[in-house]
Structure 1
Amino acid sequence: MTHEMKRFERSEVAEDKTWDLTDLFASRDEWERELNAIQANVSDVTQYKGRLTANVENLLNGLKAYERFQDRLIRVSTYAELKSSTDGSDPQNQADSARTASVLADLGAKLAFVENELLELQADHLEPLVEEEPELETYRKLLEDILEKKPFVLAPETEETLAALSDVHNAPFMIYERSKSSDLAFDAIADESGTELPMSAALYEDSYETSPDAVIRKQAFESFTKTLNHYKNTYAVAYSTEVTKQVTMSRLRSYDSVTDMLLHSQQVTKQMYHNQLDIVQEELAPHMRRFAKLKQEKLGLEKMHFYDLKAPLDPAFNPSTTFEEATDTIQQALAVMGPEYSEIIRKGINERWVDRADNIGKQSGAFCASPYGVHPYILITWTDTMRGAFVLAHELGHAGHFYLAGENQSLVNTEPSTYFVEAPSTLNELLLADYMIANTDDKRMKRWVITQLLETYYHNFVTHLLEGEFQRRVYSLAESGTPLTEDVLTGQKSETLQNFWGDAVEIDEGAGLTWMRQPHYYMGLYPYTYSAGLTISTAVAGKIREEGKPAVDRWLAVLKAGGTMKPLELAQKAGVDMSNPEAIREAVAYVGKLVDELEESYA
């Protein structure tokens, strides 16, 4: 008989394990007053409607008013999101969240004129405007980014119509999410002793898929894919509709292809995108096949199945640590980043930026929210395992990045492209691993740290990258007029997996259905960016090992630059040229070196 630890209600959780929302609003009442106030104050911005670009004075004052208003919107929405993420079962939080979404949609429609009117500016007029009013320099990147869209923008009334239909355009994703969270029911599974275990999508992804027990992994995979199989036609229609929408929009907007449209907002060239997908798949596959074979041998598996890929290499060794010990180790590992960065990490740990409690209604996974002018907030569920230290270091990487960007840039200049955004977070994981390997003589511990690093590369360079390859194939088929039926999607997913793993892994029948797992396909070309961020951080970690402080100083300057540069320029500022395939090759070679070290540790 197993004794499950009691899960607490949110109200029963110790305060020091929760984040401090009073830094955003002193109370829910104060938050509600501000929610009401911003609806009344939208006229601070809308007073410029129809005259935003009439003269340089209106342009500057209108942009300032817009930025101040966005700042208030971010605080109000962040507060509601954070409360909802720590207890989604609370009716008050549910209601506040729904109300906030409705207010934001309404205000978004009222503020749509800002971008439409800015599009009336001429690109060659920007320089004279900035010369006439130097304060406009702050908004230069914002204006340049908007004007880059100009050739692809439709008539104002058409854009307003499309904006009014945003709920309809979001429907494929909403249908997918709602179905996944509410409709999917799975058969219970049993362990070797016959004890019945509950099964859900979250349990599969957070627990059973990485179980040391081969029987549990197989049964959970079969239960998981059996349910996916029941919904495959519905999900295929939802996803096919999403792709059709994007392809249609790219044609309406006169882009050369849907890929050009989706890369435009990331400010990434097609060459950078294809390099990432082509080189990682081609050159990483042999290393990952070796890793799979090593797992097969050490775990005594007759065959390496697709559902065995995330099994722990050394199941009996799962080092535990307290939050205090883990945060101490993280701080020592990140000391290499110098005093300014270390102080941010210290504050994050000690001043309740982190919500680590486990309570009923809390969202799974981890994230970092960074409301401008306040400080970042990190959600994690702490379970006293060393793996949690890597997750926390990752989120602290996002926190350090956006804290420095926020301190050094105005709100409009804090957000870099998604292509870059995973670099600061994964760098912290690499620095933590370096520190832990350097500070232990325990062979088993070293081996464990290497497998944690390989988990990070597997996540970014295999799972998400192969999602990216699947997307590339799907868009190509859609543009050629091939209907995206369930069998086409499942066939493409199976083939993508088969090409990568070769004969090292048995691609089980249900593996092709795993295109149904991810919400990422509804977010444009998002999956491949995980590998881009990790490619950049791998190069930067190498430079920090070789050069020390000069490399760290360059990196801190990049973090402080926020969103003032395009991703290619940000990487170049850190000393990494992402237009050159060499950076990707070096990252892949580093993964190969980790697999070498792992094989040697068993020799």
Structure 2
Amino acid sequence: MTDHTRKRRHDVPEEQKWNLDDLFSSEEAWENAYKKLQKQIPDMNAYRGRLHEGANVLLACLETEEKLQESLIPIITYAQLQMATDGTDPKNQSRQGKARALKSEYNQAVAFISSEIIALSEGTIARFLKEAPDLHNYDAPIQNILQEQPYAFSKESEEILAALGEVHHAPLKIYEQSKSADVTFSPFQDDAGEERPVSFALYEDKYEFSSKTTIRRKAYEAFIDGLRHYQNTYASTYDTEVKKQVITARLRGHGSVTDMLLHNQNVPQDIYHQQLDTIYRDLAPHMQRYAKLKQRVLGLETMTFADIKAPLDPHYEPEISYNDAAETILEALNVMGSEYVTIMEKGLYEGWVDRANNIGKQTGAFCSSPYGAHPYILLTWTNMMRGTFVLAHELGHAGHFYLANQHQRVGSVRPSTYMIEAPSTMNEMLLARHLLNKSDDGNMKRWVILSLLDTYYHNFVTHLLEGAFQREVYTVAEKGETLTVQTLNELKYEVLSGFWGDAMTLDDGAALTWMRQPHYYMGLYPYTYSAGLTASTAVSEKIATEGQPAVDQWLSMLKAGGTMEPIDLLQKGGVDMSSSAPIKKAVRYVGTLIDELEESFL
């Protein structure tokens, strides 16, 4: 059924779109850059099989690869961003396909670098670094390559895998394409008998937060019914992704797929399990109290999965324009100093943000930060105050990579995904503190506490439970079992019921939440949301009490990019994540927020 409530992309006002001219001034400019890079990629052949010859050969190879990478990133990003804003446009689909093919060509052309560096002895590398000091510009990527030495295939095998890169990413591509362009939902009738359309964006950004129980539950039924039509396809797609990971881990010699995925993050298993176990165990009683409080205040006979995001204060739904939200965010982040605030101003007002709601646009929100250009933020602006937190979150990613891009070379920008969500959730924490300090209105203060709880729910519940589910999925997959719809539904249901206990009545549809996120195709990404928020909870408190010294620590971490391992990076930023203490402290803080809510509703 056609969605008549949303515009076509070409009808969206320009001020609601991001400015892709900052990447390429025209489609022709993109095509020219594409063709130019396609001709340059074979330049890498001049170094193939020669990296052992001397320091200058290795240096020249790395410099050439770096220039290619700097050219590739905007080409890929432009295609991805166009696709994200309208996945139904055949031109966008075609461009995305071309970009992925080019990336595969690039990956195949540079694959020999890793295998040839791995083949060098420690003594040879030490000598090369002494003979060509500029090689130290590539310390981080060289060390990352050397860490793969125990798990590397032969040079020929690595090149074959690189050539198949586009195929390896097919499960995620299929999932995203299906979700943005193919999945349809039947409308539902509201209490007035009016027909309401359903889409991913409408359900997850609007109906799920409705103050009207019948709207939430009818929308949920229509949404779940739509998902069921695709559950077998999505199960097969996800099963393919997991099988790929399990087989790759086994062939490379990792102890398990979890070992492999954590190795990529530079995170020890004990820290991974500590993050999942501590929150799953310690947060559950607080969130069960929260669910029961909602049930009591909203007068619900039963608390269902469709009700958990219902507003606790339905008569207080503050609205805010984009410009007012931008001003509020800048006020909140003033504590971070002029350098950081200037970046935020650019992000808010200079074409970094796409906030339109058009047909074919990707749901949710993200920030893409291409090297050599400014970041791009995608979200759907609905004039609801909660969108201010989403915008602040994505600006946190933008500020992080804007600074890292300025201070690091392209191969040393990205840190481990373990700490990626720390800078983004830091902005949310600072926004909440600002709003609480600024307002004398009891209703507003309660709304901010509820918004903070939304942040913790998103990171400590939604994504943490995704992480707990993933852990179970990999346990099953390691045994060689196929991930059928029944298996995935049972695993998700068990994780949800174990966390919520008797505080929530779960139906079979709740188990289908594994179909709603692309994160499962991104390795062990979901649990890192909770790690990031744990860190930002601790450091935002330090900033409130210590001021500039704590800010300086945090900014130095952002600028360091990917030059350190994640635990060391966060230590540089002001928090020790090797201990469970910050996790327990953050969980206790959530408990105090719920305490305040319970008192406010007495």
State if a TM-score over 0.5 links the two structures: yes
Deviation, structure 1 residue 111: 2.4
Kept in 2: contact 1:420–1:567 (CA 8 A): yes
**Separation in 2 of the partners of 1:177 and 1:409?**
31
Aligned to 1:61: 60
Aligned 1:44-443 pairs, distance under 5 A: 44-443=43-442
Change (3 A) 1:375 1:360: same
State the Cα deviation string for residues 342-386 of structure 1 (Å, max 9, x = none): 111122223222233344443332221212122112223322221
Kept in 2: contact 1:176–1:235 (CA 8 A): yes
Deviation, structure 1 residue 526: 1.2
**Separation in 2 of the partners of 1:118 and 1:237?**
37
**Separation in 2 of the partners of 1:172 and 1:375?**
29
Q: Which 10-residue stretch deviates more, 231-240 or 288-297?
A: 231-240
Change (3 A) 1:174 1:370: closer
User: Which amino acid counterpart does residue 348 of structure 2 have in structure 1?
Assistant: I
User: Which amino acid counterpart does residue 210 of structure 1 have in structure 2?
Assistant: F
Q: Over aligned residues, Cα RMSD in angstroms?
A: 2.1
Deviation, structure 1 residue 162: 2.9
Change (3 A) 1:90 1:230: closer
Change (3 A) 1:124 1:144: farther
1:307 is paired with a residue of what secondary structure? coil
State the Cα deviation string for residues 93-134 of structure 1 (Å, max 9, x = none): 333333222222223222222222222223454333222222
User: Which amino acid counterpart does residue 553 of structure 2 have in structure 1?
Assistant: R
Change (3 A) 1:420 1:95: same
**Separation in 1 of the partners of 2:426 and 2:404?**
17
Change (3 A) 1:516 1:354: closer
State the Cα deviation string for residues 249-302 of structure 1 (Å, max 9, x = none): 211111111110111111110011000100001111111111111111111101
Change (3 A) 1:163 1:540: same
Kept in 2: contact 1:34–1:76 (CA 8 A): yes
Deviation, structure 1 residue 181: 4.3
Aligned to 1:34: 33
Q: Which 10-residue stretch deviates more, 213-222 or 170-179?
A: 170-179
Task: Please give the TM-score of this superposition, normalised by the length of structure 2.
Answer: 0.95
**Separation in 1 of the partners of 2:212 and 2:330?**
34
Change (3 A) 1:557 1:525: same
Aligned to 2:570: 571
Kept in 2: contact 1:242–1:522 (CA 8 A): yes
Change (3 A) 1:374 1:437: same
Change (3 A) 1:427 1:161: same
Change (3 A) 1:259 1:395: same
Kept in 2: contact 1:13–1:359 (CA 8 A): yes
2:274 is paired with a residue of what secondary structure? helix
State the Cα deviation string for residues 480-506 of structure 1 (Å, max 9, x = none): 344433322222211111110111111
User: Which amino acid counterpart does residue 34 of structure 2 have in structure 1?
Assistant: L
1:378 is paired with a residue of what secondary structure? strand
Change (3 A) 1:5 1:178: closer
1:47 is paired with a residue of what secondary structure? helix
Deviation, structure 1 residue 594: 1.2
Kept in 2: contact 1:19–1:355 (CA 8 A): yes
**Separation in 2 of the partners of 1:482 and 1:362?**
36
Q: Which 10-residue stretch deviates more, 238-247 or 536-545?
A: 238-247
Q: Which 10-residue stretch deviates more, 347-356 or 11-20?
A: 11-20
Structure 2 residue 529 is the aligned partner of structure 1 residue 533: no
Deviation, structure 1 residue 11: 4.2
Change (3 A) 1:239 1:95: closer
State the Cα deviation string for residues 392-428 of structure 1 (Å, max 9, x = none): 1111111111111111111111101111111101100
**Separation in 1 of the partners of 2:412 and 2:98?**
28
Change (3 A) 1:536 1:64: same
**Separation in 1 of the partners of 2:200 and 2:361?**
16
Change (3 A) 1:171 1:68: closer
Q: Which 10-residue stretch deviates more, 453-462 or 354-363?
A: 354-363
Change (3 A) 1:43 1:160: closer
**Separation in 1 of the partners of 2:463 and 2:448?**
22
User: Which amino acid counterpart does residue 456 of structure 2 have in structure 1?
Assistant: Y
Deviation, structure 1 residue 326: 1.2
Kept in 2: contact 1:45–1:69 (CA 8 A): no
Deviation, structure 1 residue 578: 0.9
Change (3 A) 1:532 1:410: same
**Separation in 2 of the partners of 1:482 and 1:361?**
35
Q: Which 10-residue stretch deviates more, 524-533 or 100-109?
A: 100-109
Aligned 1:407-486 pairs, distance under 5 A: 407-486=406-485
Q: Which 10-residue stretch deviates more, 236-245 or 139-148?
A: 236-245
Change (3 A) 1:576 1:259: same
Change (3 A) 1:214 1:99: same
Change (3 A) 1:93 1:445: same
1:119 is paired with a residue of what secondary structure? helix
Instruction: Report sequence identity in percent.
Output: 54
Q: Which 10-residue stretch deviates more, 513-522 or 282-291?
A: 513-522
Deviation, structure 1 residue 228: 3.5
Change (3 A) 1:518 1:343: closer
**Separation in 2 of the partners of 1:57 and 1:303?**
70
Count the aligned residue pairs. 600
Kept in 1: contact 2:38–2:102 (CA 8 A): yes
Kept in 2: contact 1:271–1:579 (CA 8 A): no
Aligned to 1:602: 601
Kept in 2: contact 1:123–1:147 (CA 8 A): no
**Separation in 1 of the partners of 2:435 and 2:588?**
21
**Separation in 1 of the partners of 2:403 and 2:167?**
37
